[in-house]
Structure 1
Amino acid sequence: MRKSAYVGMIFLFFFLLAAAGTFFLVVMDIGGTAVDMPVRGYLEVPLSGPVSEVAAPDSLSSLLLRARPLAMHDLWMNLRKAKVDGRIQAVLLRLGLLQCDWAKANEMREAILDFRRSGKKVYAVIEEAPDFDMEYFVATACDRIILHPLGWLGINGIGGDVPFLKGALDKLGVRAEFEHVEEYKTAANVFTEKGFTPAHREEMESLYADLFAQYVAMAAKARGKSEGEFRALIDRGFFQGEKAKTAGLVDDCLYEDEVQALLRQDGRTPARVRFDDYTKVRPSSVGLETGRQVALIYAVGTIMTGESLPQVLGGSTVARWIRTARNDGSVKAIVLRIDSPGGSSVGSDVIWREVALARKVKPVIVSMSDVAGSGGYWIAMAATRIVAQPQTLTGSIGVLAGKFSIDGLLGKLGITSEKLVFGEKADIFSPFRPFTPDERKVLKEEILWTYEQFLAKAAEGRGLTRDEVDAVGKGRIWTGRQAKDLKLVDELGGLTMALGLAKKEAGIDADEEVRLDVWPKKRSFWQAIFSRTGIGLDIKSAAGREKILDTGRLMNRTNIWAIMPFWVKPQ
């Protein structure tokens, strides 16, 4: 057979594969909402892996991501639906290692506890789980915790190591040159230090001591133990099978067939309802989301100026969503759900402005997830009310700026450069040379000015003085529980509490259902292919393509940051 024939066959194979994939996505798009529900069933929830705030808005994105990660919005909504759905008899959580932080874990607990108020049971099934504290924390909200008879359960506390890279950078000839406001603004310390500074250590120990105390108190109460007893179990660390049951950490040690027998009612085992399938059940079909409208806007990712891109929260995009909700008379309130460590101070301020304008027209309630610090706090502080989980990492009111100088590395590699500048400071951010003392002074003055804007706007939004905000600022991160005591947030709770406050502020009765207008909007397959209207980008037009390029350029040129540390969680 000729070589050209082989090439043709390979081309045909991949063409047919792409065509089949496209056909599958189109079929999903057209008929994906049809769900065949049993009369009696149990909802099975695979609670493991990465946990996002909201699912990808289209099937194409899900395909590109290769797997649909668990989304908090879907879990929250599915448990709300299952609570009032007579066809769902129970919930079975299959717990594995979660890739999220403690605030999302507590949001899961709250959703589980709310479902249990219906009188239906929730079972947590664990097979093998070393180093499982956060996941076990979620499991303690369930009616029963079930461990495989040979399963290994590890509840050995929280903590680990925070890496510092300065020594490695020194050997490479790379210098991290950053100015920051102030001593607790430690986002660049991983590059500029060889260990904790006193302020950095104080901050980290305070955060994780509070998270650990909350974990112990809540888990001990759920398992009917004193905090001292539970701490003693943590110090033991690891339990297998019946030992975990004897210690009171689990209720049963069962095989899969025995788990199914536990679900049986009146001699009949309810049918399994897959989580992804149940996500397609419309809330209105079970009596939810039938009233007036509330906008639910997700602000997730590192904040940049320009338009949103994958993993990037575009200031222009989210500001436009808020503006649209503000100008829509049918939207009675806005819930802004934030999961962001911050980023560009300008991008943050663009969103802050729209929140401040919207607040004058209708209630704006912020719901904080795992992180809402630095720029993530900036976009929240003008809201009518701020709700955070006790474990949310927030605050971090501070600013930093700087660059990496690689002249030492280039010298080792034999690479040279020639300067060509017009303007005394034209190459101030060049990686080919370090800052001069005068340039560092100018940089410090610039970020101090930005910090003062941060303080003033936080004081205005929170009803505090500039000095009161500065006293709890200086870049310091707080847990949600600490932040409430410091008046940086108003209430402790999750999305359900935020929605309740939105209704209250809008004059809607607490028992009245509201329809959620969720942003980013879900898009059809064809919208995903030909446009990005859901996030504000239209690749069909030259202007839309230019916006994408502009965002990339701005990401490269942003020099003043309101962002939290890269390693805020010990590994």
Structure 2
Amino acid sequence: MLRLPFVLLANLLIGLRLLLGLPFRLMAVRQRPTWVRFRLTGNLPYRPRPGPRFRLGGTPVEPATVASLEDFGRALRTLAADPKVEGILLELENLTLADARRDALLTLISDFQAAGKRVVSWSVMVDTSAYPILGAADEVLLAPMGRVDLVGFAAEATVLGEAFGRVGIHAHFARRGDYKTAPELFTDGTVSDVQRQTLETFLDERYAVLVDAIARDRGKTPEEARALIDAGPYSAKRALEAGLVDGLVHEADLGAHLGLESKKKAAHDDETPVPTFSAYLATQPFPPVRWRRLRRKPRLAVVDVAGIIVPGSGGSGRFAAADTVVKALRQAARDPRSKAVVLAVASPGGSALASEQMLEAVKRVAKQKPVIAYVDKVCASGGYMAAIGAKEIWSAPHAVVGSIGIFQGKFEYGDLLDKLGVRSTTVTRGQNAAFGSGSRGFTPHERAALEREVEEGYQTFLELVAQARGRTKEEIHQLAEGRVYSGLRAKDAGLVDRIGGFEEVCRYAMDEARVSSEDFEIHRFGRGARSRLSLLKLLAAAAHPTSYAFCTTAWGLWGFGTTEPID
């Protein structure tokens, strides 16, 4: 009941503001724009990122900038319902969308076009990843000085074994699984055939999607689309000649190109700006209003597993600390408003101990509320172990999934110490007492213990996955040994349940909780200060007594090395 007077007061103020602005909006009705401009930049989050209510100082945000995919979708639905609106202008600037978010953005654009509206896109420069967004428009424009860096995709595998040897560091690892290539980053002097084959598989899938997009959007055959990619990059003139864009227009001339006229244009000003969505709302007598609700919306909890999995607690983003994630899961379970949980996994794995801690915590929450795991980039090794505790696993089509395997080892830096003039003597009691010593490698007895522990860990991993996926250990073993899959191939292999986007997962989770998925809010648990990535932490995580990890650090493949939280 304490909420009632505050809700009534808030709605009264909203209504008063709406009423006071009505005369001005009525006067502006005749100036309602027929075209609306949006600026797409960066890696758009699914939902608006939390921020300060009042911003003092700092760089101002360009008014047309889209804050999130949710905001953009809401705006497009409003414009699609207005018969006076002809279309939208999309300005692309440094757009760096992950695959799943690009697919979600393309769906929003396609739905708007299906409502009979036009989409015109414009940019100064786009790369291979952003071109499908530019090309999805009904009319594609480029600045006369612009570029289309359409060149295809490249993957670069890295190994450090020889470099480490030159400075006196030697990596000693045992692994279970021929496809568990993570230790190769530290041990090998050349890229293995398995690494190369895995990279080529992902490149083939991604390249096929690009070819299909160009062929569909630009009216080309697949062979012509591949020829266009091979002829890149393009200057603006060559892009126009090749049919990758439909026209070259300066930014100041975009309004005139769309047929807009400025009624208050100064005599010395020949620019006709394209209105923003905020300007459009100012011409609506009764614009969409978010009234405060007496009863709060049902809540969906989102818990991130983002970064290399490590024991203990700490920041988010680069490292997923077990204690932090477990605490967040417990908070989500206790929260009475949270009806379901989405476990947002963006992790290549890490410590076996920490991964199993997370798995047990996920299982406990899943006994109380529906838990759905979702991956839009990487859900590998220990990250996949955490995900299998959920009721279902959803994946973006081209995310990295799997890498069921294990490795364990240490770094020997005795030669480096010798070069530096550092001398040490190790005295032990017990044959394996210096198992973790970095001053020397493994003795035969220690190596046998290492191999035994790695095998035991691998069998445990197989058992846990088999139980979760309703399969036998033998069946999982045929899919495991460190093999990695795209989301689509993981679905065919039975390692994930569904292919979809973040918003679809959220709605499905609420449906599973028997709560309306039409209107709910998302609350993130465990999002804290971000920890910095350091080589020391990376090496320590990779050499943890037992590690379930897929080493994205060794891949330069469309940003798969990034493990940003899903937001």
Q: Same fold (TM over 0.5)?
A: yes
* Preserved CA contact (<8 Å) 2:44 2:69: no
The 1-side partners of 2:177 and 2:114 are apart by 46
Aligned-pair distance for 1:471?
0.9
* Preserved CA contact (<8 Å) 1:297 1:337: yes
Equivalent in the alignment of 1:292: 298
Aligned-pair distance for 1:428?
1.6
1:373 aligns with 2:380: yes
Q: Which amino acid aligns with 1:305?
A: P
For residues 117-132 of structure 1, what are the structure 2 equivalents within 5 Å?
Answer: 122-129=119-126, 132=127
For residues 210-359 of structure 1, what are the structure 2 equivalents within 5 Å?
Answer: 210-262=205-257, 269-272=273-276, 285=290, 291-310=297-316, 311-359=318-366
1:452 aligns with 2:439: no
Q: Which amino acid aligns with 2:220?
A: K
Aligned-pair distance for 1:478?
0.9
Instruction: Call closer, same or farther: CA 1:257–1:270 in 2, change over 3 Å.
Output: closer
* Preserved CA contact (<8 Å) 1:377 1:394: yes
Deviates more, 1:436-445 or 1:219-228: 219-228
Aligned-pair distance for 1:106?
3.2
* Preserved CA contact (<8 Å) 1:47 1:93: no
Residue-by-residue CA offset, 1:184-218 (whole Å, 9 max, x unaligned): 11112122112232322222222221222222223
* Preserved CA contact (<8 Å) 2:182 2:550: yes
The 2-side partners of 1:351 and 1:285 are apart by 37
Equivalent in the alignment of 2:369: 362
Equivalent in the alignment of 1:562: 548
1:139 aligns with 2:134: yes
Correspondence for 1:517 among 518, 523, 548 = 523
Residue-by-residue CA offset, 1:505-546 (whole Å, 9 max, x unaligned): 223456x2222223346xxxxxxxxxxxx5799xxxxxxxxx
The 2-side partners of 1:359 and 1:149 are apart by 56
For residues 429-508 of structure 1, what are the structure 2 equivalents within 5 Å?
Answer: 429-508=436-515
Corresponding residue pairs, total: 498
The 2-side partners of 1:119 and 1:323 are apart by 47
The 1-side partners of 2:359 and 2:301 are apart by 17
Residue-by-residue CA offset, 1:303-358 (whole Å, 9 max, x unaligned): 21222314221222222222222233332221222211112222222221222222
Q: Which amino acid aligns with 1:296?
A: V
The 2-side partners of 1:339 and 1:91 are apart by 33
Q: Which amino acid aligns with 1:231?
A: R
The 2-side partners of 1:181 and 1:445 are apart by 11
Equivalent in the alignment of 1:4: none
* Preserved CA contact (<8 Å) 1:296 1:334: yes
1:170 aligns with 2:165: yes
Instruction: Call closer, same or farther: CA 1:440–1:119 in 2, change over 3 Å.
Output: farther
1:389 aligns with 2:396: yes
Q: Which amino acid aligns with 2:72?
A: L
The 1-side partners of 2:542 and 2:192 are apart by 29
Q: Which amino acid aligns with 1:516?
A: I
* Preserved CA contact (<8 Å) 1:382 1:462: no
Aligned-pair distance for 1:44?
3.5
Q: SS at 2:424's partner residue?
A: coil
The 2-side partners of 1:372 and 1:143 are apart by 36
Instruction: Call closer, same or farther: CA 1:104–1:324 in 2, change over 3 Å.
Output: same
Q: SS at 1:415's partner residue?
A: coil
Aligned-pair distance for 1:250?
2.0
Equivalent in the alignment of 2:99: 102
Equivalent in the alignment of 1:427: 434
Q: Which amino acid aligns with 1:196?
A: V
* Preserved CA contact (<8 Å) 1:382 1:458: no
The 2-side partners of 1:332 and 1:77 are apart by 21
The 2-side partners of 1:136 and 1:222 are apart by 11
The 2-side partners of 1:228 and 1:552 are apart by 43
Residue-by-residue CA offset, 1:51-109 (whole Å, 9 max, x unaligned): 7788876669x99x9999xxxx9522222332344599766544345556534443443
Instruction: Call closer, same or farther: CA 1:263–1:323 in 2, change over 3 Å.
Output: farther
The 1-side partners of 2:37 and 2:342 are apart by 28
Please tell me whether Structure 1 or Structure 2 has the larger radius of gyration of its CA atoms.
Answer: 2
Aligned-pair distance for 1:553?
13
* Preserved CA contact (<8 Å) 2:102 2:133: yes
For residues 50-199 of structure 1, what are the structure 2 equivalents within 5 Å?
Answer: 75-85=68-78, 92-97=89-94, 101-114=98-111, 122-129=119-126, 132-199=127-194
Q: SS at 2:341's partner residue?
A: strand
1:402 aligns with 2:409: yes
* Preserved CA contact (<8 Å) 2:254 2:274: no
Instruction: Call closer, same or farther: CA 1:364–1:570 in 2, change over 3 Å.
Output: closer
* Preserved CA contact (<8 Å) 2:408 2:544: no
The 2-side partners of 1:350 and 1:119 are apart by 51
Q: SS at 1:428's partner residue?
A: coil
* Preserved CA contact (<8 Å) 1:293 1:331: yes
Equivalent in the alignment of 1:528: none
Deviates more, 1:290-299 or 1:493-502: 290-299
Instruction: Call closer, same or farther: CA 1:248–1:287 in 2, change over 3 Å.
Output: farther
Q: Which amino acid aligns with 1:559?
A: P
Residue-by-residue CA offset, 1:97-152 (whole Å, 9 max, x unaligned): 555653444344345445655655554432134xx211213333444432112322
Q: Which amino acid aligns with 1:203?
A: T
Q: Give the gaps of 5 or more residues in structure 2.
A: 1-16, 264-272, 279-287, 532-536, 559-567
Aligned-pair distance for 1:174?
1.5
* Preserved CA contact (<8 Å) 1:146 1:252: yes
Q: SS at 2:144's partner residue?
A: coil
* Preserved CA contact (<8 Å) 1:149 1:253: yes
Residue-by-residue CA offset, 1:382-401 (whole Å, 9 max, x unaligned): 22222211110111111111
Residue-by-residue CA offset, 1:398-448 (whole Å, 9 max, x unaligned): 111112111122222322112244443232222211112222221122122
Q: Which amino acid aligns with 1:194?
A: G
* Preserved CA contact (<8 Å) 1:323 1:358: yes
The 2-side partners of 1:286 and 1:244 are apart by 48
Correspondence for 2:198 among 198, 203, 210 = 203
The 1-side partners of 2:374 and 2:382 are apart by 15
